[in-house]
Every structure is written in structure tokens, then in C-alpha cells.
Structure 1
């Protein structure tokens, strides 16, 4: 196989083609060091672009008077974007040690983007929480009093128990966000998450459907960080302004 030049092609705008090739290659992307390095360069650039989008959305929402808060009755003020801490790379390495294979897009997100929490209330769109605002929390920076690693281990152990109790428990899904209903402070279903282990380049993101992580992010950014349509004209105007000139991944 000749060098695919994925990174160069990605930078030139051939992003959809590059992701298609990487997904078709599957775990074989790790079979040769030069392929793995090239794929990781693409994932890191994806993460840098995603971080710029997150920062832009947070700035625009803040300028609009948006209140970032917890998804409960108390509505405690929250920091919408927690950049990676100095231990982010260690946390990514631990995840690999624990599960064996973690998709490259997840590792890049942990090292370069950080944790994102866009749940809140817009002054001109009171039901903004129903828009399924973007949340991706892999390092657990909003919970300094808790251990994200302990939480992950507990979730894994609960899944292992279900393996013993059910014929087909399905794959383990690493929780990274509350589901749409929990985001708007109503009872809901299972958290959104990432299927592990997985030695592919791009992760599978599980929400109400299962889709490639980057596809989910692109769709979410195309809707200003709020991918669920509720239909009001004011909502559409706000989301279009939030999404203006965001970077495709």
C-alpha cells in the first residue's frame, strides 16, 4: 500500500473521502506505523478544528446572554468548556490500558479539546435545553471532587454484570453525556456514549442512533451545537447564527 497522504488531503478539503477511507480500513489502520501516524495526524487536526468550533459557539452564546447551567432544578452555573488539563494525556493512556483499544478520534478529543457542556437557557429560546445541546465529557473536569476513572470502572463493572445476566448485553458504551431528555431535566434513557473497545480510527457514538463520532460532531456543529430540531422560527435563527462559518471536520 502506498502512502495515502490522508493528512495532506484532509487539509486540502477532501475530508469526507479521507474519513470514508479510514472507516473502511477499520482496525487495519494500526497494522503499519506509517498508517497509524497519518491517521492520528488527521484525528488531531479534527480535534483542533472542533475545539475552535466549541470556543466560537461558547463565545456567541455568552454574547447572547445564554446561561450555562446544570440539568436539574437548581440550575447551578457551569463552565461550558474545560480545556484539557495537564493530566489529559495520562487519562487517555489510562483509557487505552483499561480497554485495550480506544478510537483515535476519542484520544485526540481528550488531549486537544477537553470537556464540553452546552446545557443551559437562551434568553430568546427558553426551551434551548430541548435542542440536545452538545455535551462531551471524557476527562470529567467539571467534577473535581470525583474520580472519572472510578466512575468508568463502576460503569464497566455494571456492564459486566449484565453480561452474566443476559444472552446479548451488547457492547460496552462509555458514557460521555446525558441523553436528550436528561439534558432538559426530565427522565430519560441511557447516557450517550462511545463503544469500547474499538481499534478503529473513528469512534462509534451511541445516542438515539449509532453513528461515527465525527459524523455526529459535524451534524451538531451544522446546527450550532443543538442538533435536535424543535421547529420555532426564533430557534432556527439562533442556531443559524451559532453555526455560521464553523469549521467542517
Structure 2
């Protein structure tokens, strides 16, 4: 169990995440060491996102919102000077946060890969990666919206609360869909639970699945997508 960061960097990533899961909230007995691993995970994720964005941009990909006008969107908004303040607000509002979520907010930022590829017309249907936690582009309205939704949930709680961080697959392609993807809160563990498509999995497991497919984890069955997805995923770092 010793020297988690060195072991993670040497390739023992699965073993380290397994130990974190076994420890649960007790991981905070060695919070600084666990946080160092989560920060390294976030730096690797940031590298992957930047590489995907660079490759998509070179392809002529149009990053846009999931609206009728396909309003241009910024694919990666780095953490702002208010990122730590937003984390404090999240803790005050929802309780403890998983360390991987904190590291994502501090080191990655907001990711929005929805758009249209010039050679892969159904790319928006492939569930492109979106993780917006600070949601800086929405300003203070985002906090107000989250607080109102959480207050309504507390009046009639159903299951575990899931902090919304992304539209679901159908909403990403601008059609009616289900509940947004989210992170289960409160959570004092190292890695959080990512809720999507009616199920839950560790956040890092979800990210690894997405990066293995170049940021587009749902196969749409077109001839063009394999070449595009394969090239996007090439040399991305496992988390």
C-alpha cells in the first residue's frame, strides 16, 4: 500500500485504484498521498483532452453546442481563478467530494467535445466526452440552477443524489433524452461514482473507457468512424 504515486506512475494503476476502493473513506488517513495520485490522473486526462482537441481541430472538426443553431463552443475551458472557490461551494452545498472530482476541477477544467466531424457525420451521436463541473461559461447562473435542483431533490429524495456534469447521449445530439450524466455526492472516497445510462461506474473507469475510443465511446456503425476514432485514441495515456 506504500508509495502510491510511484506505483501509479510505474504502471500499477489498476492495483492503486483497487486499494483506494477497498479503503473507501479511510483513504483520508493518507489524503495527501491519495490526492497526489488523483492529481497525476487529472494531468494525464488533461494531456489526453488537449491531444484529442488538437487532432480534431486539425481535421476541421466543428465544436458546437447541442442546439438547433449549432452555436460554436470551446472544447476545453481551463480551470479559472475561481476553481478552488467553486470546490468550496460544492462542499458547502453537497458535502464531501471524491478526490478525483476535486483534481479534475483544479487541473483539467471543463471539457465539451460535442460537434461535427467533416468525414464522420454522426460524430455527435457517438456520446462525445463532456465533463463540466466548474461550468465557468455559464457564470453564476449555474450555481443557482444546481442549488435549486438540489433543494427540490431534498424535498423528495429518490436514491442517491447525482451532481449533473454532462448531458446524456441523446441530448448531446440535440434530441430528447434522459437524465444528465452525474457524479454521486456526497462521497469521501478517492474516486467518485459516475452515473450514466442508468448505471454507475468509477469515474476513472468511465474516463478510461472514453479515452480508449478517442473521446467518442458509442459506435455509430459508419465506415468513417473507425479510422477517425482509432487515430484520436492513438498514444493516449491510461489513467
* Class of the TM-score when normalised by the shorter of the 2 chains: over 0.9
CA distance in 1: counterparts of 2:52 and 2:96, whole angstroms = 31
Pair 1:114-2:109 in alignment: yes
- Deviation (angstroms), 1:151: 1.9
CA distance in 2: counterparts of 1:48 and 1:191, whole angstroms = 25
TM-score normalised by length of structure 1: 0.93
CA distance in 2: counterparts of 1:100 and 1:183, whole angstroms = 29
Match of 1:27 in 2: 25
Pair 1:44-2:42 in alignment: no
CA distance in 1: counterparts of 2:220 and 2:128, whole angstroms = 12
Match of 1:74 in 2: 69
CA distance in 2: counterparts of 1:29 and 1:99, whole angstroms = 20
SS of 2:187's equivalent in the other structure is coil
SS of 1:175's equivalent in the other structure is strand
CA distance in 2: counterparts of 1:12 and 1:148, whole angstroms = 39
SS of 1:239's equivalent in the other structure is helix
- Deviation (angstroms), 1:162: 2.3
CA distance in 1: counterparts of 2:141 and 2:68, whole angstroms = 24
CA distance in 2: counterparts of 1:93 and 1:16, whole angstroms = 30
Pair 1:188-2:177 in alignment: yes
Q: Which structure 2 segments of 5+ residues have no match?
A: none
Residues 157-198 of structure 1 deviation map (CA, whole Å, 9 limit, x = unaligned): 1211322xxxxx101100000000000010000000000001
Match of 1:154 in 2: 148
Q: Which structure 1 segments of 5+ residues have no match?
A: 164-168
Match of 1:143 in 2: 138
More moved, 147-156 vs 103-112: 147-156
CA distance in 2: counterparts of 1:142 and 1:90, whole angstroms = 16
- Deviation (angstroms), 1:115: 0.2
Residues 89-112 of structure 1 deviation map (CA, whole Å, 9 limit, x = unaligned): 111122112222100000000000
Q: How many pairs align?
A: 238
Alignment of 1:58-73 (within 5 A): 58-73=53-68
TM-score normalised by length of structure 2: 0.97
Match of 2:217 in 1: 227
More moved, 148-157 vs 66-75: 148-157
- Deviation (angstroms), 1:216: 0.2
Pair 1:248-2:232 in alignment: no
CA distance in 1: counterparts of 2:145 and 2:50, whole angstroms = 27
CA-based RMSD: 1.0
CA distance in 1: counterparts of 2:213 and 2:223, whole angstroms = 14
CA distance in 2: counterparts of 1:233 and 1:37, whole angstroms = 47
CA distance in 2: counterparts of 1:161 and 1:65, whole angstroms = 47
Match of 1:166 in 2: none
